[in-house]
A and B are shown apart, each in its own frame.
Chain A
Amino acid sequence: MYDLIVIGGGPAGLAAACAAWEGGLRSILIVERDQELGGILNQCIHNGFGLHYFKEELTGPEYAGRFIRMLSDTGVEVRLDTMVLEVTADRQVHMVGKTTGYRVEQARSIVLAMGCRERTRGAIGIPGTRPAGVFTAGAAQRYVNMEGWMPGNRVVILGSGDIGLIMARRMTLEGAKVLACVEVMPYSGGLNRNIVQCLHDYDIPLYLSHTVTDIRGKDRVEQVVVSQVDERRNPIPGTEMVFDCDTLLLSVGLIPENELTRQAGVEMDRRTNGAVVYENMETSIPGVFACGNVCHVHDLVDFVTAESQRAGAAAARYVAQNGDAPQRVLQVRNGDGVTYTVPQRIRPDRVEKRCDLFFRVNRICGDSEILVTSGDTQIARFKREHLAPGEMENITLPRVLLDKARDEITVSIREVEQA
């Protein structure tokens, strides 16, 4: 019997385990299917990690390394090369590994930190032939940065999310010709700094409001056709551009990896594709927590760390107190301009001083106000000069304000000046 089993040893799992250790738990197990800890960070060899948390710029492996070192000062047990196959509602964890065999372990609490996977060609239905040479950007990143192989020489990238942008630069530095980055929306889904540093600096054109409408080539990609789209994202005939290339990289979104979560019977949020969580990252099953990309897709690892520390600390508290009576619950609703929030529910009595609330907006906004209301009363207001769907927003609500709310709070955006 473990006090805590953490599933996934990426930045989320590492931070949660460290925080649970600090919170006093002494029998903690991290299960990681890869051969090393660090998660997706191991293939992110560019820098830009840790600006918020460590106040310095680190590469992905360096950032992970700091937590792996912190972990080595604790007594947390780690099982690598071991994959969790099933989690039950009564907190049994089934796992299998080459050296660890098939085991079923019982846990008092569980942190789900499995990260996410990439959307594929099939998910977005690009027509055409089905040759080799269509990769998700993350798979290409793994080939280049981990295996030391280039997946192609002449590249078109669909999607301007961060992974696509980073790969545009990476492929260029490795001698490939990146012909274009194509984005169906009228704005990029990536961080602004990545657009400048990965596209502009290398003269890679970014085609906004464009998409790939055909893939050609029998054995290997030979051409892709790019068309402009109208406001409803339908291709406009006559706008086709043909690129001669051998590779198409897809950076068209990430999907939280929640098969285990669903199987366990945890309540899910259709908008985040992750579990519905409370203020302390607890899911609908008491003692089961979710954090990091498995809960909602993050842009910055620093926020993953902060959120996961909360989950780890809460798991420690849960085990110590062995759960307690149900309390008042506030539903957090998405108002105008808001796609989702995390947490989706807040128990004010569990909030010590303040509660962090993360959310995404559904359009680019200029000068705006973020309004938090409960019924007809406004309980908080925050100002932002700029809001974009590609950048996760975060506000902090003091406990005293939450005590004013009744049953629900709604987060919405009021644009003061059009972007």
Chain B
Amino acid sequence: MYDVIIIGCGITGAATAFELSRYRLKVAVVERENDVAIGTTKANSAILHAGYDPMPGSLMARLNVRGVELARTLCEKLDVPYVPCGSMVLAFSQQEKPHLEELYRRGQANGVPGLALLTGDEARELEPNLSDAVVAALHAPSAAICSPWEYCLALAETAVRNGVQLHRNTGVTGLSPVDGGWLVNTDKGQMWARYVVSAAGVDCQQIHELAAPCPYTIHPARGQYYLLDKSEGDRVGRVIFQCPNDLGKGVLVAPTVHGNLIVGPNSEPVEGEDTSTTAAGLAFVRDKALKSVPSVQFNQSIRNFAGVRAVADTGDFVIDWAAPGLLDLAGICSPGLSAAPAIGEYAVELLGADGLALEEKEQFICERHRTRFKQLPQAERAALVERQTAFGRVICRCETVTEGEILEALAGPIPPCSVDGVKRRVNAGMGRCQGGFCGPRVVEILSRELGISPGEVVQDQAGTWLLARETKGGDK
């Protein structure tokens, strides 16, 4: 019998597991896929919003502002790439100016520090590549960018090091109330827990319905992106938003912590978790982005992708009891990434208030470190290679990732089991050649280290096979 079972290991589940791992509890996280951070958490804008957007008084407003405050120290302690670059919302006409003022007021009410209204020229002074059409801007210095999957991974890894059990490839198929808790049916067998926390992203409604009729509806809304090469990484220094209109929040242009430029998203209703990109969606994103920053070079694109927001029809996060002992963390659309640690904190507060004993561990690990060869100064690089020769073998040439870093990830608390799993941990394959060069080498390392045939190595989730069979002349 577990004290708590968390369903889903995106940023919401991981943050909740991390918070719970402070206490003397038996906690498990069950994740349907073969890795963490494989749902919406890997495909979003990666922005830690300042918090002027949500309506004052909403859960979103409170948890967003609290979440980004926690993120600042958390990212540092857990070695998560984080850059406090600030953000700007642009107005292109006098009609849009009242909207900036409204955001300014909301921000004041939500407790966002440092907000300032700028003229177009002041905005261009900070961001010289902004369009001449910008007439005013709202500047929020407290916004930041991060690596969303590494954030999730860092929280999950630290939770595991603090004793939380992570069961991957374990999808929840049924929930039945039993005496003193829940019977959780999974495709890997049965588990029991006093409390169940649903952090299943887009699937939260289905999980809720396994136990009780669901009072809310999740409307999946897809957003598509361009990711541009590092050659475009300096095009802007801050996150550049547009005023929302009937067509949604507007398209943003932002640097990423990896040095690239991200452009997107649009917003369109979709069925389930359909993360395909479309020519029309991408064209929309491109046109809109050029309105903010006309000089973006789209021929430097290295990848398109899309993510699906789990938008609840209540207009807010749904953090509430679905049934006694079953807590919903649902409708976690944007600013879910920003709010994550605060959502975890709040979930634990609710569990505690319901009677879960929260006794702090004496030894709680709250730090993490990984080797980043590329960022080391020359002398440290030399010393590292001297100690461990695997750090001398560069596997990914675009991002300068060494075999040593991949081996370190494989020895970590949540080892990768796919090529993309390696990419999310050490950045191999993330660069401009998109794994064209290092893909075969990563397959070779995974095959060797996991003791499986190259034919069994997958690209990402189960079923994403890479190699069909050996060649005719192949084999020993």
The distance in angstroms between the C-alpha atoms of A143 and B444, with both chains bound, is: 11
For window 382-437 of B, CB contacts with A under 8 Å fall at: 382, 385-386, 389-390, 392-394, 397-398, 400, 403, 432-437
Q: Which of A130, A131, A135, A213 has the most CB of B within 10 A?
A: A130
In whole Å, how far is B342's beta carbon from the nearest beta carbon of chain A? 31
Q: Are B282 and A102 in contact (CB under 8 A)?
A: no
B319 within 8 A of A: no
Interface residues as binary, A141-160 with B (CB distance below 8 Å gives 1, 0 otherwise): 01110111111110000000
Q: With A and B bound together, what is the CA distance between A259 and B374 in angstroms? A: 14
Contact between chains at A153 and B468 (CB < 8 Å): yes
Contact A102 B381 (CB under 8 A): yes
Contact of B472 among A117, A121, A127, A175 (CB under 8 A): A175
Task: Closest A residue to B472 by CB, please name it.
Answer: A174
> Looking at the complex, which of A90-98, A329-337, A370-378 is the stretch in contact with chain B?
A90-98
Q: A148's contact among B390, B465, B475, by CB below 8 Å, is which?
A: B475
Name B462's closest neighbour in chain A (CB-CB): A219
What is the bound-complex CA distance between A138 and B381, given in angstroms?
31
- Contact check, B378 vs A94: say whether CB atoms are below 8 A apart: yes
CA distance A127 to B458 in the complex (A): 22
A144-B471 contact given A81-B393, A139-B440, A149-B455, CB 8 Å threshold: yes
Size class of the A contact interface (CB-based, 8 Å):
35 or more
Which residues on A sit within 8 Å (CB–CB) of B444?
A: 147
In the assembly, what is the distance between CA of A127 and CA of B462, in Å? 22
**Which residues of A have CB within 8 Å of B226?**
125
Residues of B contacting A117 with CB < 8 Å? 432-433, 436-437
CA distance A85 to B400 in the complex (A): 8
A146 (CB) vs chain B CBs: closest residue = B440
Instruction: Provide the main secondary structure of the chain B interface.
Output: mixed
Structural contact, B304 and A98, CB atoms closer than 8 A: no
Q: How many A-B residue pairs have CB under 8 A?
A: 143
Given contacts A101-B386, A120-B433, contact A33 B397 (CB under 8 A): yes
Residues of B near A142 (CB, < 8 A) are 440
**Partner among B386, B440, B458 whose Cβ is within 8 Å of the Cβ of A132:** B458
Interface membership of B355, Cβ < 8 A? no
Let me know if A149 and B471 touch, CB within 8 A.
yes
Contact residues of B between 334 and 391, Cβ < 8 Å to A: 378, 381-382, 385-386, 389-390
Q: Contact at B470–A123, with CB atoms within 8 Å?
A: no
Min CB distance A12 to B, Å, is 17
User: Shortest distance in angstroms between B430's beta carbon and chain A's nearest beta carbon?
Assistant: 11
Q: Shortest Cβ distance from A391 into chain B, in angstroms? A: 24
Tell me whether B276 and A120 are in contact (CB under 8 A).
no
The answer to whether B440 and A98 have CB atoms under 8 Å apart is no
A121: which of B393, B398, B432, B434 is its contact (CB, 8 Å)?
B434
C-beta contact mask, A102-116 vs B, less than 8 Å → 1, else 0? 101000000000000
Contact of A127 among B277, B435, B475 (CB under 8 A): B277
* Chain A residues closer than 8 Å to B462, beta-carbon distance: 219
Known: A102-B378, A147-B444, A150-B468. A132 touches B460 (CB 8 A): yes
Query: B227–A122 contact, CB under 8 A?
Result: yes
Q: Does B305 have its Cβ within 8 Å of any Cβ on chain A?
A: yes
Partner of B440, one of A101, A147, A153, A174: A147
- A-side residues, CB < 8 A to B, are 33, 81, 83, 85, 94, 96-102, 104, 117-118, 120-123, 125, 127-133, 135-136, 138-139, 142-144, 146-153, 174-175, 213, 216, 218-220, 235, 246, 259
Residues of B within 8 A of A (CB): 226-227, 275-279, 281-282, 299, 301-305, 378, 381-382, 385-386, 389-390, 392-394, 397-398, 400, 403, 432-437, 439-440, 443-444, 454-455, 458-475
19 additional contacts, CB 8 Å, given A129-B276, A149-B454, A174-B472? A97-B392, A97-B393, A101-B382, A102-B385, A104-B378, A117-B436, A121-B434, A122-B227, A125-B304, A127-B304, A135-B439, A147-B443, A148-B470, A150-B468, A150-B470, A151-B466, A219-B464, A220-B463, A235-B279
Q: Can you report 29 A-B residue pairs in the complex whose CB atoms are below 8 A from each other?
A: A33-B397, A98-B385, A98-B392, A99-B392, A100-B392, A102-B381, A117-B433, A120-B436, A121-B434, A122-B304, A125-B282, A125-B304, A127-B276, A127-B281, A127-B282, A127-B304, A130-B275, A130-B305, A132-B459, A132-B465, A133-B466, A147-B440, A148-B470, A148-B473, A149-B470, A150-B469, A150-B470, A213-B279, A219-B461
